[in-house]
A and B are shown apart, each in its own frame.
Chain A
């Protein structure tokens, strides 16, 4: 069974600060996707990383996939209150087929003005 551990579980910081959240596993994933989920809504895809060592940037958000494709991180620069939300990582299993994603429990992020 593949597991994804996200840390920290909760994070509350001031506007303008930088932060990093982590997504770790002992298993290799073929791809790693980051989602943001608002209460009562479905996950919204932010980014997908597929290559070990890959770095993708989305405005102030930087996503990195570990070299061994077992871990990933999300770094936010100059956090804003609009970044508040639940951030989920989800891994696609190695191999073909319509693989289901394995989700982490998420990081609850609060950016205080």
Chain B
């Protein structure tokens, strides 16, 4: 069964450093997403991506964040200058449809990357 994969599973970085989290979405999916989950808190939407551009982003997704689809399979999240409060699980998700009338869309999540900023 196709699945979303993410690497690395755990990333430790020092405050101020740049990190890149990588995801391989399900191959025939067209919509890609990043979410984060701070320990003990709910899953929060960061950004969605379609047709090589950002479709929607939350207030959390500020100028320190960027996303890219560098090739036909990978989808990345870059955090330019990490802060302590960026420590969280970061989940990538993908879906086949968008929420257009008469269709359903189902987002499938990867296993996550645990980011620890020290």
A105 x B42 contact (CB < 8 A)? yes
User: B residues touching A (Cβ–Cβ < 8 Å)?
Assistant: 4, 31, 33, 35, 41-50, 55-56, 58, 89, 91, 95, 98-101, 104-112, 114
User: A residues touching B (Cβ–Cβ < 8 Å)?
Assistant: 30-31, 33, 35, 40-45, 48, 50, 88, 90, 92-106
CB distance from B72 to the nearest CB of A (A): 18
Known contacts A44-B109, A97-B98, A98-B31; A50 and B104 CB within 8 A of each other? yes
Which residue of chain A has its CB nearest to the CB of B47?
Answer: A100
Which residue of chain A has its CB nearest to the CB of B4?
Answer: A42
**Which residue of B44, B46, B98, B106 contacts A99 across the interface (Cβ within 8 Å)?**
B98
Known contacts A43-B91, A95-B99; A100 and B58 CB within 8 A of each other? yes
A41 x B112 contact (CB < 8 A)? yes
Please give, as numbers and ranges, the residues of chain A lying within 8 Å of B49 by CB-CB distance: 98
CB distance from A27 to the nearest CB of B (A): 14
